[in-house]
Structure 1
Amino acid sequence: MKPRTRTPDTALTVAETAFDLLTCEPAPLVFDARPVPGLPDATMPLPDLRTLLLYERHDNDTVDALWRQLVQHARDWGPAWVVGAIGVALPALTHLAARISAGYPRHAEDVDSEVLAGFLEALRTIDLATPRLWLRMCWTAWRAGAAVISGGEEDELPPDCSTGSRSPRMPYGHPDLLLRRAAASGLITAEAAELIGATRFGDTLIEQLAAEQGITPGALRMRRRRAERIVAAAITRGDLSSAVRSPAASDPSIAA
């Protein structure tokens, strides 16, 4: 797919310029990586940290610990660290925005703005104690940008958003839509769709649900795995690509 051409003054390109100015020599903003297991035992300028994250794969615990520290800096130390945190996330945010607006060039600038606004909202409000912190922050940005498209002429999102180690692999179509379609078509139960959505994309731990239902976490994971395999097979066959065409014509809550 041909990359999207950005104008010089979208929200994300302006953020990149601000990040460049903040982190240039002779006094770039530096991040203390020493408290983060899995990162170098050193301080490093933020552009170096961003490059490290782009080209080296780190486990989820390392990435979450890094982002807990960056988010805390943004909250405690003011606007410079807000710009710094955004700058570290920009490769992922730019990729997400490009995937959302693929095929919708007239919405590209609005998508950029909303993706950035969603990420800023996550910086301000996300619970740092929750697992999969970076994944949740990306989903907040994704959903904010996707609302620009889903609120317009289509409810479908661009397929297969993947940015390597910098952000999660997005499913083909919005995950909530896919799960709703799978349940509506009878491929999986509504309870299985809720289980996947709550534990994969929400804040619910599978151990919590298992305790509430009086079963073991292993049994609930097996139930989720079976449902996910059914949905994955349906996606591969293309069975879920057009089950719901227009939110206005079917269920108005789908677009939400």
Structure 2
Amino acid sequence: MTHSEVFEQSQWPTNPLAAAREAFGWLVTGPHPVTVNGRLFECLPDREVGLVELRDVLLGEDCPQRSRDEVWRYVIERARAERGTWMLVAVGLALPMLTPIAGWLTRTDDSDDPHDLCAEALRGLLDEVHTVDLDEPGIAARLRWSAYRAGHHALSRTLLSATPTTPGFFSDEPARPSGHPDLVLIRAVRSGVVTETEAALISFTRLDKKPLAQWPRPDGMGYEGLRNARREAEARLAAWLLDEDDGSEHTPAERDAPGTARGSTQMPGTHQGHGK
């Protein structure tokens, strides 16, 4: 048995995110670690920058959103063109987003093997790497949102397919995966309370604490119009959460009434691509 075969059988992690972290480690160590040319980016020093340093810069609060998007655009363009190493670079840079997502999902799941949920979150991120609009701001936020959505869908399927283990006894309806604000937003989208675009906007500006001005607006729509649209979406969300606390639910007719998420096509001045 070769050394590589022993390594694969005895040391390679079974959790997809742990495996991605292990593989990312290969890119940042050794005699020829992967680097980016910092001279290409406003937020980086004028030299070759290693991936760990790059990741730390992207996580820093003093890194402007414009600079984050420039780096992510560069990485994703190379990942799409070259795949392989640069696709792994994208995943490695996104691990600080994926890890807490996996934590919330697996904490809600009672199964002994949470790896499927981690794999689905990772798949959601990779799908977005292939499709995200690189000309729009908030690239990282949309990557994270897609990972949450994919993982949450997998979790919902797991909970709904749960079967009783003792004949003649049936468990109560599984508790909803709540707690983390992004998971609450996902449930609100699935319930028709807000659109995916509205949820992404709320996540981008409230949870990621990015300025509302950084969310793109088409010609003719002012800042106040976008702020009012967000306020209306948040009012619907707050009312829905209060209804949930009271144990009541809106009927389909109420959800489809004018002014609700399903009664309108999308947030004025935005497009559905942001909700991916």
Q: What TM-score, normalized to structure 1?
A: 0.69
- Structure 1 residue ranges (4+ consecutive) displaced by more than 6 angstroms after TM superposition: none
Q: How does 1:102-121 map to 2 (within 5 A)?
A: 102-106=107-111, 108-121=114-127
Amino acid at match of 2:16: A
How high is the sequence identity, in percent, across the aligned residues? 28
Residue from 231, 237, 246 that aligns with 2:237? 231
Query: d(CA) in 1 for partners of 2:92 and 2:44?
Result: 18
Amino acid at match of 2:187: L
Cα contact 2:57–2:63 (8 A) shared by 1: no
Q: Which position in structure 1 is the counterpart of 2:39?
A: 34
* RMSD value, Cα: 3.4
Structure 1 residues 240 and 40, CA, compared in 2 at 3 Å: closer, same or farther? farther
Residue from 64, 68, 71 that aligns with 2:69? 64
For the residue of structure 2 that corresponds to 1:41, the secondary structure is: coil
How far the C-alpha of 1:179 sits from its partner, in A, is: 5.7
Q: Which position in structure 2 is the counterpart of 1:167?
A: none
How far the C-alpha of 1:124 sits from its partner, in A, is: 1.8
Query: d(CA) in 2 for partners of 1:147 and 1:180?
Result: 10
Cα contact 2:37–2:48 (8 A) shared by 1: yes
Cα contact 1:33–1:44 (8 A) shared by 2: yes
Unaligned ranges ≥5, structure 2:
1-11, 160-173, 205-214, 250-276
Structure 1 residues 38 and 55, CA, compared in 2 at 3 Å: closer, same or farther? closer
For the residue of structure 1 that corresponds to 2:123, the secondary structure is: helix
Structure 1 residues 149 and 39, CA, compared in 2 at 3 Å: closer, same or farther? same
Unaligned ranges ≥5, structure 1:
1-6, 161-169, 184-192, 245-256
Residue from 190, 195, 198 that aligns with 1:196? 198
How far the C-alpha of 1:32 sits from its partner, in A, is: 1.9
Q: Is the aligned partner of 1:221 residue 2:227?
A: yes
Query: d(CA) in 2 for partners of 1:128 and 1:11?
Result: 26
For the residue of structure 2 that corresponds to 1:118, the secondary structure is: helix
Q: Which position in structure 2 is the counterpart of 1:44?
A: 49
Q: Which position in structure 1 is the counterpart of 2:148?
A: 142
How many matched pairs?
213
Cα contact 1:50–1:88 (8 A) shared by 2: yes
Q: How does 1:1-256 map to 2 (within 5 A)?
A: 8-106=13-111, 108-153=114-159, 154=174, 156-160=176-180, 170-171=181-182, 173-178=183-188, 183=193, 193-194=194-195, 196-197=198-199, 200=202, 207-208=217-218, 218-229=224-235, 231-232=237-238, 235=241, 239-240=243-244, 243=248
Amino acid at match of 2:78: H
- Asked which structure has the greater CA Rg, the reply is 2
Amino acid at match of 1:114: E
For the residue of structure 2 that corresponds to 1:44, the secondary structure is: strand
How far the C-alpha of 1:182 sits from its partner, in A, is: 8.6
